[in-house]
């Protein structure tokens, strides 16, 4: 495999710790995710696998994504379109998302001031912060002329 083999080893360890088994389907799914930088839904991954002649069932993709999420390999997110999306979490530090309402493009951002204010605000309320969602919806640079023509 050209994809970093250490990730597969790490996955194997994670599985073993839970009494789970390393199967060809699980490896294929993880490799497909590691090879992508995108925020993909289940079927994107499924079709990507199939286009590489790898046949896996949709149920197995969902089941594996759940394991990968728990193991910290994958981030599961929801941009409000009724489907979950998954992104390769390994190479990336925490970030949030700007989402273009026109073309679906996703721009990643982080802001330490915002992160700090979140901590501050939750402390004020004696609230123990576990995780957060911060999504900025709007029109990306490329879509602004197009959107203006439609009157957005």
Partner DNA sequence: ATTTATATTGAGACTGAGTCTCAATAAAGC
Partner DNA sequence: GCTTTATTGAGACTCAGTCTCAATATAAAT
Q: Does 44 bind DNA (CB under 7 A)?
A: no
Strands (E), 13-53: 40-41
Give residues in contact with Mn ion (CB under 5 A): 87, 108
Q: Are 136 and 99 in contact (CB under 8 A)?
A: yes
Which one of Zn ion, Mn ion, DNA, none interacts with residue 23, CB within 5 to 8 A by kind?
Answer: DNA
The b-or-e profile of 125-134 (16+ CB within 10 A means b, else e) is eeeeeeeeee
Q: What minimum distance in Å lies between the beta carbon of 114 and DNA? A: 27
CB of 13 to DNA, least distance (A): 11
Residue 106 sits at φ, ψ, to 5 deg, of -120, 125
Structure tokens that stand for 57 in this block: 């069932």
CB of 70 to a copy of itself, least distance (A): 16
Write out the residues near DNA by the rule CB under 7 A.
12, 15-16, 19-26, 41-42, 55-60, 62-64, 66, 82-84
């Amino acid at each position: 495999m050209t994809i970093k083999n250490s990730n597969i080893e790490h996955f194997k360890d994670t599985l073993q710790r839970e009494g789970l088994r390393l199967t060809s389907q699980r490896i294929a799914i993880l490799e497909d995710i590691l090879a992508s930088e995108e925020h993909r839904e289940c079927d994107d991954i499924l079709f990507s696998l199939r286009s590489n002649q790898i046949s896996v069932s949709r149920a197995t993709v969902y089941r594996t994504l759940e394991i990968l999420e728990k193991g910290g390999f994958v981030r599961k997110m929801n941009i409000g379109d009724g489907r979950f999306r998954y992104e390769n979490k390994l190479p990336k530090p925490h970030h949030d998302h700007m989402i273009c309402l026109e073309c679906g493009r996703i721009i990643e951002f982080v802001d330490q001031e915002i992160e700090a204010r979140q901590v501050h605000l939750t402390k004020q309320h004696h609230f123990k912060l576990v995780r957060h969602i911060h999504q900025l919806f709007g029109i990306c640079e490329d879509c602004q002329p197009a959107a203006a023509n439609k009157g957005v």
